[in-house]
Structure 1
Amino acid sequence: MSETRPRPTLYAVWLIVASVIGWWAAFQLTVEKFALLADPDASLSCDLSAFIQCGKNLESWQGSVFGFPNPILGLTGWMAPLVVGVAVLAGARFPRWFWALFGAGITFAFGFVCWLISQSIYELIVLCPWCMVTWAVTIPTFFATAVHLLRNGTISRSEKVRARAEKLMAWVPLATILAYAIIIAMAQAKGIDFLGEMAGLLF
């Protein structure tokens, strides 16, 4: 079943913006990984303090959980929402099975990011700047995609569900802010004074 509703322009634009930001973060992490491979004692540009740094994450087993550096997943994975966003903006209509697969991919990315957040805060006890950029765009992308799959009939064909989902999209920014707040609260509860660290670095 193909979409019959108006083109989701705002959602498409967000996919493009999120993909560019996410890809750039993955690229920067890849550059930092190359720097570590060339010189294990290298001082990385993202190593801002003992608690705000990329080095510890990149050198941990969590940083290569699939046998290769995690940033490679970002370099390749962010291409999917970028292509979908551009295609939708250009007027492309995708069948239900396509959106289901796309949603599965975004859900996997969200689940993986949630796991990385927990590992970063509770195991490594450090916050990686470029990782946080990735978290920052993955979370709202998941929320927006979940709502979009409800409103375009991928998850449910009920007109009532689709109509309610249309209104629910306006709440994605609030849900995102709440998610950010939870992450900051988790970090501070663990003893990582994120806000204090960032304020000290800025001022």
Structure 2
Amino acid sequence: MSSRTIESRPKALAVWLVIAGVIGWGAAFALTVEKFHALQNPGSGPASCDFSIIVQCTANLDSWQGSVFGFPNPILGLTGWVAPIVVGMAVLSGARFARWFWLAFAAGITFAFGFVLWLISQSIFFLGTLCPWCMVTWLVTIPTFYAVWVYLLRAGVISDAARVRAVGSKLAAWVPLMAIVTYAVVLLLAQLRLDAIPQLLDVIF
């Protein structure tokens, strides 16, 4: 079973993977530029993504959490977001992947999701900031995680059992709601801890 090819072509998922990958890569690129600018021009003042004490990226980039693996976190995004783009484009081009490939891909997405949840907790509860470009990354990582795992259930990647696949099919329509609920929980925590909503509205409007 581990080597069999999954026959279904998840076109909707593929389109989302490309869109999410491009957005996520763009956010990572913007953060990388900000980090390089800060390194080249120390003491040059607030970064372009610093809007207030709460909504800013400098505190995140300068913290140890911003380089938890020994290098700036945005570098992970620059490399990691290439995978969804490539997988999405490959599926749209007609490629079909083996079960082990989908499981490996899902493992990477799961790592990204877990890492994002950890970064969210660090931002809200320890750094006391909401990094704009980081939030863009959160915005696309969360639904990508749900969409990929629901596809794995629906396509029989996790199990060939009809009951498991039926659960995946039923959950597919709920992916947007699952993402929205997750966003709402994050926003609620940020509001309770940082009074973030007025700050975010000031930035948006």
Q: TM-score range by the shorter chain?
A: over 0.9
Contact map agreement 2:102 2:157 (CA 8 A) in 1: yes
1:70 alignment partner in structure 2: 73
Residue 83 (structure 2) pairs with residue 111 (structure 1): no
**Separation of aligned partners in 2, 1:119 and 1:60:** 10
Counterpart residue type for residue 152 of structure 2: L
Per the TM alignment, residue 111 of structure 1 is displaced from its structure 2 partner at its CA by 0.4
Q: State yes or no: 1:10 paired with 2:12.
A: yes
Tell me, yes or no, if the aligned pair for 1:25 and 1:133 is still in contact at 8 Å. Answer: yes
TM-score of the two chains, using structure 2 as the length reference: 0.95
CA distance in 2, matches of 1:174, 1:202: 23
The secondary structure found in structure 2 opposite 1:71 is helix
Matched, 1:21 2:31: no
Question: Which residue, out of 184, 200, 203, partners 2:202?
Answer: 200
In the TM superposition, 1:52-201 aligns within 5 A as 52-190=55-193, 192-201=194-203
- The answer (yes or no) to whether the contact 1:96–1:153 under 8 Å persists in 2 is no
Q: Is the 8 A contact 2:55 2:130 kept in 1?
A: yes
Please name the residue that 1:30 is paired with. Answer: 32
Partner amino acid, structure 2, of 1:104: A
Shift of 1:201: 3.1
RMSD over aligned CA atoms reads 1.0
The answer (yes or no) to whether the contact 2:21–2:85 under 8 Å persists in 1 is yes
Deviations 1:51-70 (A, max 9, x none): 00000000000000000000
Q: What TM-score does the superposition give when structure 1 sets the normalisation length?
A: 0.96
Runs of 4+ residues over 6 Å off in structure 1:
none
The answer to whether the 8 Å contact 1:63/1:70 transfers is yes
**Aligned residue identity for 1:201:** V
Match of 1:39 in 2: 41
Structure 1, unpaired ranges of 5+: none
Aligned equivalents of 1:26, 1:163: Cα separation in 2: 36
In 2, Cα distance between equivalents of 1:129 and 1:4 = 39
In structure 2, C-alpha distance between the alignment counterparts of 1:47 and 1:30, rounded to whole Å = 15
Tell me the alpha carbon deviations over residues 108-127 of structure 1, each in whole angstroms, 9 at most, x when there is no partner.
00000000000000010100
Contact 1:62 1:119 (8 Å CA) reproduced? yes
Pairs aligned (count): 201
Q: Indicate the residue corresponding to 1:50 in structure 2.
A: 53
Q: Aligned-pair distance for 1:188?
A: 1.2
